[in-house]
Amino acid sequence: MAVVEMRRVTIVGHQSMLDQVMTVLQRLEILQIDDIDESLPSEDLSFSSRSVTGSDALLQLEEQAARVRSALDVLDKHFRKPAGLIETFAGTRFAVSESDYRRWSETEEHTLPAVSQAQQLRDRLLELQAQQRSVSEDIELLRPWRGLDVPADEIQDTRLFRIQLGEVTGRALDQLSEDLSAVSGAAGFAVISQASDVCSILLYYPKKLEEQLLIPLRRAEWRPAALPPVIGTVAQTIDMLEERLKAIAAEQDEVIQAIGTLVDERLALYAREDELRNRIEREQVKELLGFTQRLFVIRGWARRKDVETLNSAMAEVSPAIVVEDESPRPGELHPVDIENPPVIEPFEVVTRVAGLPMPHSLDPTPYLAPFFLIFFGMALGDAGYGIVLSIISLWLVKRVNAVGLGLKLLHMLAICGIGAVAAGVLTGSWFGDLFGLPPLWLNPMENPLPMLILSVALGMIQILTGLAIKGYDKIRNGQLVDAICDELMWIIFLIGLVMMLVAGSMSQWPQVAVVARYLAIGGGAGLIMTQGRHQKNPIKRLFSGVLSLYGLSGYMSDALSYSRLLALGMSGGVIGMVINDMGRRLLAIPLVGWIIAIALLVVGHLLNLLINLISAYVHSSRLQYVEFFTKFLEAGGKAFRPLAERHRYLVVKPDTASSEK
């Protein structure tokens, strides 16, 4: 339940065992490998490092991976991944058994046929697409000439006449006609077709007049036509080309169907791609190692509890491999991992999203978990929504085979659903006011003030908790005086002030006001006296002390920030009411009214749940990050990231009877 203790690990062995060692390490997923140049001061020993970039082994792996990926791209383009809306949203993974995974991915053999077939099919498809494009272009070029009912190859110059097909601007048609007849009665043209401003014409004129016609033709923007090869009349050719297009389309369909037969191989391809990527990573990591003539040296970090496993796994590879472990040098920044009991573990999402604490700092997860649960519950604030959220979350865990952070998030939402149920029961909110159940405590819609006070009070409690944690952390590190001067004084001062506020409404216990006054004055005086303790000059010291009381405005604004809990809870509640109100009105429609009403209620409440879920998560997180973490947390730790087998779309399940179908 804290930041996990890390051990510095060094592994030395003969280079012939390196590949085996790396494979074992990647399967175990317990060692983060460091760059040896950084972790071992260079004066200790000098190793040669090995550059892997561009090595044959790596290039070959990358080339193979690229081929598998392109096969998958072909598949994905024509056949959607077997995933619905929810799965796309949540990033589904597909479960495969360990034995299948190994069988599919160890060698190229299993996936090679599919990969090469996909490649062929893709190439064929590209070819067909190119053909399709060129045929369509030909058809477009020919279309204006469709009306030309003589075979195109018969349009040729005669001995005296030039006969040409071409285009002129539509506007210039009359002018051209006049110009031609002005030059000679023998020159003229026939309009074959006209589209917008382009006129396709058949032009004929006596060859000897060519010079005189240059200007009128240019004025009409004459462009001789360049027709694709025509067999028979243009109309016949177009028909033929269209037949061609149909044939191409039919073949495309066939090719796509053939691609469809590869869909069954998708998981195997995923497996192979993952394996290749993992091997690539294994190769790349070698760059971080140190080498002597015959030996390799791996430096890295492992969790203390894993060191034993590491030792025995290495001994199994070969007794000649040496594994050393030691504690981090003082001040050495090692990677950080956190560990919590199962109930709290899901809340690590909140911590991990913000970034892990520094190695010497505290893991905030156990402290934020109860607050997050309460805040999330209040912000969602509806028992019905809470139940639905918990059920959907648990269902999704199974449905999308969630792993890692996604799994934790779903588990956390499932737990937080319970918080929302509690809040809903207290405020009488079950799908808004759908069932008209009475609140166990009060309805914030009618009486929001107590809820507002509760929100801010919870905020105050969290802020004080944050200060207390900081104090505890300081004491742990031997800074007792600092803990008393900074955190304890503030805690006393703040408690005193809060009690003074409350005392007004507790007239039956006048002692409260007295105690409150002493606490506030004592805490305040303590702060004034101690906050300037780093200043030598007594006047400056006093001045710094007084100035430090300004921190109070920070605490106040932090506490008031929690009032959002009331607003978020109410906004969900009011929308729920609106939906219910609309539903009740629909009931008045005869016969079908109740069907529409139920549909509206289901869709409306689901949407409202979704919107409120986002708000509740985002704002509950924000309260931790901005108001809580700032009181005690030193962020900036680097997450522990062991060499591991990673999977993009798969979840590899250990072989059990149930998974062997």
Partner 1 sequence: MDLSNLGTFSAIVGAVVSVIFPGIASATAVGWVGQSAAGVVTEDPDKFGQVLLLQALPGTQGIYGFLAAFMIMLRIGVFGQMQVLTLQQGIMFLLAALPITIVGWKSALMQAKVSMAAVNIVVERPEEIGKALTFPAMVETYAVLAFLASLLMITRIPL
Residue numbers at the binding site for partner 1 (CB under 8 A) = 88-91, 349, 352-355, 405, 445-446, 448-449, 452, 561, 563-564, 566-568, 570-571, 574-575, 577-578, 581, 611, 614-615, 618-619, 621-622, 625-626
Closer CB to partner 1, 82 or 113, in the complex: 82
Minimum Å gap between C-beta 615 and partner 1 is 6
Q: In what helix (H) or strand (E) does residue 317 lie, and over which residues does it extend? A: helix 304-317
**Measured distance CA(49)–CA(564) in Å, rounded:** 56
Closer CB to partner 1, 244 or 352, in the complex: 352
Closer CB to partner 1, 448 or 522, in the complex: 448
Angle among Cα 436, 565, 365 to the nearest 5 degrees reads 120
Q: In what helix (H) or strand (E) does residue 6 lie, and over which residues does it extend? A: strand 6-14
Minimum Å gap between C-beta 130 and partner 1 is 24
Comparing CA positions, the residue from 163, 215, 173, 164 lying closest to residue 196 is 173
State which amino acid sits at residue 137.
Answer: E
Minimum Å gap between C-beta 353 and partner 1 is 3
Question: Two tokens at 524?
Answer: 């305040």
State which amino acid sits at residue 393.
Answer: S
Minimum Å gap between C-beta 404 and partner 1 is 10
Query: What's the longest Cα–Cα distance across the chain?
Result: 127
**Measured distance CA(30)–CA(300) in Å, rounded:** 10
List, in order, residues 6 or more apart from 382 with CB less than 8 Å away: 420, 423, 424, 429, 430, 431, 432, 572, 573, 576, 612
Closer CB to partner 1, 300 or 573, in the complex: 573
**Measured distance CA(444)–CA(264) in Å, rounded:** 55
Going by the DSSP 8-state scheme, the letter that residue 592 receives in this structure is T
**Alpha-carbon torsion (264, 270, 273, 275), positive or negative:** negative
Closer CB to partner 1, 552 or 560, in the complex: 560
Minimum Å gap between C-beta 358 and partner 1 is 18
Contact 531, 548 (CB under 8 A): yes
Comparing CA positions, the residue from 526, 543, 527 lying closest to residue 535 is 543
**Measured distance CA(135)–CA(27) in Å, rounded:** 54
Pairing of strands 188-195, 322-326: unpaired
Minimum Å gap between C-beta 23 and partner 1 is 26
Minimum Å gap between C-beta 277 and partner 1 is 16
- Strand ranges (DSSP E) for 450-567? none
Tally of helices (H runs) and strands (E runs) in the chain: 24, 15
Closer CB to partner 1, 29 or 108, in the complex: 29
**Measured distance CA(545)–CA(525) in Å, rounded:** 9
State which amino acid sits at residue 206.
Answer: P
Q: In what helix (H) or strand (E) does residue 165 lie, and over which residues does it extend? A: strand 161-169
**Alpha-carbon torsion (328, 331, 337, 340), positive or negative:** positive
Closer CB to partner 1, 216 or 459, in the complex: 459
State which amino acid sits at residue 552.
Answer: L
Closer CB to partner 1, 12 or 83, in the complex: 83
Closer CB to partner 1, 492 or 623, in the complex: 623
Contact 13, 320 (CB under 8 A): yes
Closer CB to partner 1, 501 or 626, in the complex: 626
Minimum Å gap between C-beta 395 and partner 1 is 17
Closer CB to partner 1, 27 or 641, in the complex: 641
Closer CB to partner 1, 92 or 105, in the complex: 92
Minimum Å gap between C-beta 617 and partner 1 is 8
Contact 11, 295 (CB under 8 A): no
Minimum Å gap between C-beta 237 and partner 1 is 39
Please count the CA atoms within 13 angstroms of the CA of 6 that sit on its side-chain side: 29
Please count the CA atoms within 13 angstroms of the CA of 619 that sit on its side-chain side: 23
Minimum Å gap between C-beta 556 and partner 1 is 14
Angle among Cα 161, 162, 165 to the nearest 5 degrees reads 140
Minimum Å gap between C-beta 433 and partner 1 is 12
Contact 257, 75 (CB under 8 A): no
Closer CB to partner 1, 452 or 491, in the complex: 452
- Strand ranges (DSSP E) for 492-606? none
Closer CB to partner 1, 500 or 574, in the complex: 574
Minimum Å gap between C-beta 246 and partner 1 is 31
Question: Two tokens at 534?
Answer: 């780093």
Minimum Å gap between C-beta 66 and partner 1 is 18
